[in-house]
Structure 1
Amino acid sequence: MIQGEYQGNNVEKIKKILFQDDEAGLELFRLMQLYLFKDSDKDDVLKLTESNIPPSQPNETGYLPIGTWSPVFEDGEVVFVRNKQADTAFWESNCKQFCLKKKSTHKRVCVIGESVAAGMFFTPHISPTKTLSEYLELHSEGMWDVIDLTRNSMNAGALLETCRAALQINPDYIVVIAGNNWYTDITIEHSGPISRRRMYVNALDKGNICAIIQQYKEKSVEFAKEILRQIDGISSEVQTQFLFVLPAVNYKDWERRYPLHWLDNKKTSKWYEKFKLAVHAIENKDYESGLKLGVEMIQIDGGTNATSSRIVANCLMKLGRNEEAYAYCAAESDNSLLFDEITSFPGMSSLVRKEIKREEKSFKHIFFFDMEEIFQKFSGEKVVGSPFFVDYCHLSPEGYKISMAPIAGYITNCDVQIKNIDDDNHTVGSFYLATAYFCIALYNTHLNRPVINNFNMKKYVSLFQKAVDCCETVLDIMELYIKARGCQFGTGFALSKSGQKLSDMLNSPLDLPITQQAPGVDAFAITCICEILTANGRKGKKLLEEYQRAYINLLDKGVDLINPQYMEWINSHTMAAIDSENGTWRNMPYHKSWWPWSYFTLASDTLNDLEMEIVLRLPTSFTAKEKKRVSVVINNKVIKNIFVIDKWTMHKVTISAGCLSKGFNRVSLEWPELEQNEEKAISDLKDRYVKGRNVEFYPIFGEIFSMRVRKKTK
């Protein structure tokens, strides 16, 4: 009893210390967690290599499962049979089963890796494994078992686990295609647990955000080398030869737009001033000026931001200076993986690629292939993109053919001719290709964000047309998509008849969830699809009007444009996730802008004036005393300037029918220049990071509590 009383008193003492108004107790407690209870560096690496495959143990056969394939006895032999488990959908291989023992007349090759290795979008009909198998059959007289053990989103731990488990079936070769998904566990998190903050707290304490970024890059290289050391160790103990393929990244066609983090040199606002000028120059095709401004931005940010690097790369490529653009493309991709608040796209770091190639000989039991070099040699271009890729890193069927040829050549010890593979339309079926390219077009339209503010409609429309060129039956799928997206404003997609029918027609159960990540009103994709439908003799115009009409009717009661479904490029404001609450008010209770502009989609007719009621403010950290101007813009035309302060204020704006287009309209707010105490912002960030609180790595231009639009009452 007395002991219990003492426990109670001690708990109260701890509470009193932790909840002091000045947070000194909380800070001390967090510092102890960060520094005194830190794991060893070795333990940190072991934690980073935890597998994302469900754990398993040897069963009655004495063997471990290999991925989703479980060992069973069948006619006295051990056979690995595809089995349902928590992550089965991610193993998209159509391999039903394979034997423990290979035939004496056969050689066995296992392909292991993440979504690039799996053949995302084209599985199960076309994949790198199938392409490699065809090459081996064509260019050797022997018999081959080529087993696809790839898994979408396979992390480093799962890769190591699958490599070890695959040795049970005694392969002659293991081909590993991996390295894109290794860095999510070292991402710099704005709300990460103390265990994850330990990686960066010293760098932040001694330096600033740029020091954290440098630490991240060093850790990514260190981590990749550790993974390869472990694979090399596995390979050293067996006769199986390991071939490791460094995946390539689409530098040419995929753009990675990311806001600038707070800088250490008090020039964050200066960077954004130049950014606005650079965007204006590029939109007016003044690439020389855009290039000059982009270089100045990099000089300010020290080469730590993706957007400035992409601006320079785009301008150089427009000016025909592709060789020079390569380094900036690589920097853009590397700098897009740093922070967790905005959707990033997997890709092998150029620093990791360079370091692996530099130390290639130290991994004595691995033979390396560099997919980027393969594409560069084939195309004669330094900056590679289409036709090898369909998005930021996933390959096209042509990419499979070109990248697998030298691997097949190494295994068979002969010169493999790429042209010997039959056309995909002939061997696979045009409809399967068409559905794949439809999903690819959706994915690009939802996620490939340009660094400027205008969209190249022709670019995206052509992606949907490519699907039609494969097979016109895909037009049926496009119509189903429009109808399903219109069901309960998208929330009824999966339950609608159109949505269910559409899902049954796709190649993989993963395709639709992947392409459907928080698209919102989806105005851009819907417009592109309806344009394609109309151009191909379907009732695209009617479908578009019906889709828009549902949103227009909401104006009778009014809509709030800060509902995430109305935000343009919602994944620029939040992490993409297959999550029912992602991109909703529960996840984003009010809008905060990391950019000088905020963009929204408004569906309207041209019969009625509209009234807008906006509640907004500048960030409380703004140092300006006087009111600042915010411009309200409809379809690139300023309709009103309002003046705001760092407290919530309400403003009414009338939108005349003459300013509106029938259907989708682009509503934007242009925020004032940043006027914040950058030194204090970084000091506050450090303080919150150490205490385990959420931090803002990016400056905020403005915040909107609500932006309601309704038909104007007479």
Structure 2
Amino acid sequence: MSSNDAMKQLSDEIAAQVYREQRGDFARLLSFANLVDRSSPAPAAKAQPETQGQIGVWKLDPASQTFVRDVAVTADWAYWAQVQSIAAKSARPRVLFIGESVARGMFYDPGYTPAQVLEQVLAGQLGAAAPEVIDLARTNASMATLRRIATQAEQLEPGQVVVFAGNNWAGNRSYLGEERAYALAASLRESGINGLRQRLESILSAEIETLMDDLAALYVQRQVPVCWVLPEFNLEDWRDPKVYAHWLGGQDANDSWLALLDTAETLLAKGDHAGAREAAEAMLALDKGDCATTAYLLAACAEGLGQPDARRRYLEMARDASIVDFTRSYSPRITALIRQLIARKAAQHGHRVVDLHEVFQAATGSAIAGKEIFLDYCHMTSKGIRLAMAAVGREVLQQSFAKSVPQEALLAHATWPSDADEADAHLLAAIHNAHWGQVYEVVLHYCRRAAEKSPAILELMGIIVEIQNERLPVWMNARATELLETVSPQIKRYLFSMEFKCLDRLLLDAFAACCAEHGIDLASRLSTLRLEGHCVAKLGSVDLLDPYYHSTSFSNQQFIDGGVNQHNDFFKAYEPVSHFCFISDEGQGRLLRITLKSSDGASGGHAEIRINGQPCQRLPLTGQWQTHDVSVSAALLKKGVNDVSVAWPKPQLNGTVELARIGRDIRQHAMAEIYPVFGHIYAFEARAVADSRKTDYAPA
């Protein structure tokens, strides 16, 4: 689209808003169109946070000249190093260690952290002359947090700064204010979702460059050397949730993409990697690399064809596609764009870089790291931590002490964690992977590693089974709170802060399987707890739209009545088949009552209700809410967890119309639905008694 065409469309929008007297957006439209003077004084910038006397959660005690943890921010203490105080001055040189949760050593912290290992590595080479490593890494640190900490930490007079960050930048949309709306909408209008992605990445790039320029300017005054650590991502094992192509331009593009997906998956299942690749490449031509599903298919084909370089390229493509998705939660990750920017800006400022991709590849011989190095998407195993900190130590010794030491010699001084810390870390990894929707085999691997390191972890698995089967907060479970008094700080902190509550079928089944391998029958206890706490016959009815029963991970939670992740007025089916479950005993049928409608307003289609994979009933769909009663015979049910799925007909998929709608949503600051929706559910219950009384749940 030419700039004249884009300006004409913008002018049409201005005229339409004038006609409708929608004055709220009128000034922004004029400003974006350069029809008013934007050189007038900008609003005053927010005052910078006070830097003197405060460093993160530590506040200066003037009497002792020591920064002490501030009791006014105790809720924030858990995100930082568990250190009570930091001396304002030291006779030893200091290395500031700034970063995010990967730099905290998540899952091992506080028993074993990267900062501790780095200090051991340096002490092993320099003895009493070794620098003190000040651990200022913070879990969930944003770019703004890094800037603030770097500024505040000048009070400690550092001799070297290490910044280990980049995972939290792509998923942080704080850089997108209202003033960006029309620029984003224009990019969408000109080049579809790919244009929107390019504009998002352009805005993010500017924020990263500003951050790195600010940090460079801060430390150049003191001539303090800076080393950036580039995180790596678990490309081997981590998989994002399956998504279907976003809205594509044209009336038939989405239909074509879905047909190609079916072809590619069928051929891949038959082992025809070349044929599947051909279909997936046609998908790629349509979605421009902005859909992770296409990239994962191409990676699988490359693996089958023995093409490791291509496999890594496609796995990176899948990892990076999430930046355009505002409707799901995605795990933190460093993208190719962020890696390139950090490397380029570091070189520009004379900063050194430790690239963990290169470090791990040299150590393992593989260009694609997996469970050997990672506990989840980016947090490292003890082996990963030791390798990373030996590489960082090597750079610190070269930069600040003009000392060149082989990495192997530094590794000799990097200690391993205790078996107890190793067990706790792997147990937490199993929980975290399950709650991010990873496959059963991966979750079971971490369960087994935890049990290998400490048999006591098996008892803790039993406690977690109880916690997740009760709908109460952890602190209200008497047995759990009593037993958790004996566990490590990292276990206690994680479990008591665990907001994600679901039936947790995959995780708890993995716990039961792991316990069975050690002669412990947890499966029977799990079955009993599920029947006692969730059986439809006991409760009378179960709301299947409660995220507890339909969500399996952070990514697919939908809060119909509001929540921390995604708030909808009704359940939206982003996949052709929607999955739910309920607990039943034996011998009796159940009643399902569902209120649903088509997503595109069309009539004539049918949704099919399936029970444990078996067809149960077909329901007619229209553009209006309709309530249906579905009788489920006892023959279709089993004792325990029963799967309920709703298979939707394919809706009308007119990408041209939908892209225009997305642009309007962006301009009006509404949540932009960039993916097709296959159907809508307003209410869905499983009932114990099959009464015939109708209740209309549909909105007026």
Q: Given the two structures, how large is their TM-score scaled by the length of structure 2?
A: 0.86
Amino acid at match of 1:36: S
Aligned to 1:395: 380
Correspondence 1:140 to 2:132:
no
- Alignment partner of 1:630 out of 604, 607, 620: 607
Distance in 1 of aligned mates of 2:41 and 2:456? 54
- Specify which of 188, 205, 212 is matched with residue 204 of structure 1: 188
SS of corresponding position for 1:460: helix
The question of 1:699 aligning with 2:699 is answered no
Counterpart check, 1:227 vs 2:214: no
Q: 1:92 aligns with which of 80, 102, 109?
A: 80
Counterpart Cα distance in 1 of 2:229 and 2:349: 14
Change (3 A) 1:155 1:387: same
Distance 1:638 1:274, change over 3 A: farther
Shift of the 421–565 alpha-carbon distance from structure 1 to 2, 3 Å rule, reads same
User: Which of residues 111, 118, 124 is equivalent to 1:125?
Assistant: 111
CA–CA separation in structure 2 for the residues paired with 1:351 and 1:98:
36
| Secondary structure, counterpart of 1:182 in structure 2 | coil
Asked if 1:469 is matched to 2:452, the reply is yes
Report the 3-state secondary structure (helix = DSSP H, G, I; strand = E; otherwise coil) of the residue aligned with 2:354. Answer: strand
AA partner of residue 215 (structure 1): R
Cα distance change, pair 199–176 in 1 and its aligned pair in 2 (3 A): farther
**Runs of 4+, deviation exceeding 6 Å:** 37-47
Query: 1:245 touches 1:371 (CA, 8 Å); kept in 2?
Result: yes
Is the 2:535–2:585 contact (alpha carbons within 8 Å) kept by the matching residues of 1? Answer: no
Task: Check conservation: 1:435, 1:507, Cα contact below 8 A.
Answer: no
Q: CA deviation at 1:356?
A: 3.6
Secondary structure (helix, strand or coil) at the match of 1:81 reads strand
- Does 2:408 correspond to 1:420? no
Query: Contact 1:608–1:712 (CA<8 Å) still a contact in 2?
Result: no
Q: Contact conserved, 2:437 with 2:553, CA < 8 A, in 1?
A: no
Provide the residue aligned with 2:475 in structure 1: 494
Instruction: Check conservation: 1:616, 1:648, Cα contact below 8 A.
Output: yes
Alpha-carbon deviations, 1:266-308, whole Å to 9, x = none?
4123223333444455566665554443322212101111222
2:98 aligned to 108, 112, 118, which one? 112
Shift of 1:118: 0.9
In 1, the alpha carbon distance for the partners of 2:198 and 2:42 equals: 18
Paired letter, 1:94 = Q
* 22 and 638 in structure 1: CA distance in 2 versus 1, 3 angstrom threshold: farther
Paired amino acid for 1:95: V
- For residues 14-63 of structure 1, the C-alpha deviation after alignment (integer angstroms, 9 at most, x for no partner) is xxxxxxx999546443142355399989999998x999xxx4453xxxxx
Q: In 2, are the aligned partners of 1:179 and 1:348 still within 8 Å (CA)?
A: yes
Shift of 1:481: 0.8
- AA aligned to 1:435 is D
- State how many pairs are aligned: 659
**Separation in 2, partners of 1:590, 1:681:** 20
Query: Structure 2: how far apart are the matches of 1:563 and 1:271?
Result: 32
Match for residue 521 of structure 2 among 523, 535, 539 = 539
The TM-score, its normalising length taken from structure 1, stands at 0.85
Q: 1:384 is matched with which residue?
A: 369
Question: More deviation in 630-639 or 154-163?
Answer: 630-639
Match of 1:481 among 464, 473, 478: 464
Q: Tell me which residue corresponds to 1:248.
A: 232
Alpha carbons of structure 1 residues 44 and 270: separation in structure 2 relative to 1, 3 Å:
farther
Secondary structure of the equivalent of 2:666? helix
Structure 2 counterpart SS, 1:208: helix
Q: For 1:423 and 1:243, how far apart are their aligned partners in 2?
A: 23
For residue 351 of structure 1, report the CA deviation from its aligned partner: 1.6
After TM superposition, the structure 1 = structure 2 runs for residues 703-714 of structure 1, keeping only pairs within 5 Å, are 703-711=680-688, 713=690
Look up the SS of the partner of 1:602 in the other structure: strand
Distance change >3 Å, CA 687–CA 422, structure 1 → 2: closer
Structure 2 Cα separation of the partners of residues 492 and 284 of structure 1: 47
Residue 604 (str. 1) matches residue 584 (str. 2): yes
Counterpart-to-counterpart distance in 1, 2:644 and 2:43 = 47
Compare 219-228 and 155-164 and name the one that shifted more: 219-228
Amino acid at match of 1:496: N
Alignment map for 1:250-399 (pairs within 5 Å) = 250-257=234-241, 258-266=243-251, 267-279=253-265, 287-358=273-344, 360-364=346-350, 366-399=351-384
Residue by residue over 1:161-215, the C-alpha shift from the partner in whole angstroms, topping out at 9 and shown as x without a partner, is 21122222112111110111223443798xxx63452552332344433211111
Per the TM alignment, residue 67 of structure 1 is displaced from its structure 2 partner at its CA by: 1.0
1:7 maps to which residue?
none
CA contact (8 A) 2:320 2:335 kept: yes
Hey, what does 1:18 align to over in structure 2? none
* Distance in 1 (alpha carbons) for counterparts of 2:392 and 2:258: 46
The Cα of 1:641 is off from its aligned counterpart by: 3.0
Equivalent residue letter for 1:225: E
Change (3 A) 1:240 1:502: farther
SS at match of 2:93: strand
Which SS does the other structure have where 1:403 is aligned? Answer: helix
- In the alignment, the residues of structure 2 paired with residue 389 and residue 444 of structure 1 have an alpha-carbon distance, to the nearest angstrom, of 11
Residue of structure 2 in register with 1:239 after alignment: 223
- Contact 1:188/1:340, CA 8 A, preserved across alignment: no
Retained in 1: the 8 A contact 2:598–2:680?
yes
RMSD: 3.2
| Uncovered stretches (5+) of structure 1, i.e. residues with no partner | 1-20, 59-63, 450-455
Aligned to 2:168: 181
Asked if 1 retains the 8 angstrom alpha-carbon contact of 2:229 and 2:353, the reply is: yes
Aligned to 1:512: 495
5+ residue gaps, structure 2: 1-15, 398-402, 692-700
Query: Percent identity at matched positions?
Result: 22
Does the CA-based 8 Å contact 2:551-2:558 persist in structure 1? no
**Amino acid of the structure 1 residue aligned with 2:572:** K
Residue 133 (structure 1) shift: 0.9
Instruction: From the superposition, tell whether residues 28 and 73 of structure 1 become closer, same or farther in structure 2 (CA, over 3 Å).
Output: closer
- The secondary structure found in structure 1 opposite 2:463 is helix
Q: Structure 1 463/156 Cα, relative in aligned 2: closer, same or farther at 3 Å?
A: same
The residue type equivalent to 2:347 in the other structure is K
Q: 2:31 aligns with which of 33, 36, 46?
A: 36
Name the counterpart of 1:161. 148
Check the 8 A contact 1:530/1:543 in 2, yes or no.
no
How many Å apart are 1:712 and its aligned residue?
5.2
Report whether the alignment pairs 1:149 with 2:126. no
Report the Cα distance in structure 1 between the residues aligned to 2:212 and 2:121, rounded to whole angstroms.
27
CA contact (8 A) 2:175 2:204 kept: no
2:503 to 503, 506, 521: 521
Tell me if the contact between 1:391 and 1:440 (Cα under 8 Å) persists in the aligned partners.
yes
Flag the 1:675–1:580 CA change in 2: closer, same or farther, 3 A.
Answer: closer
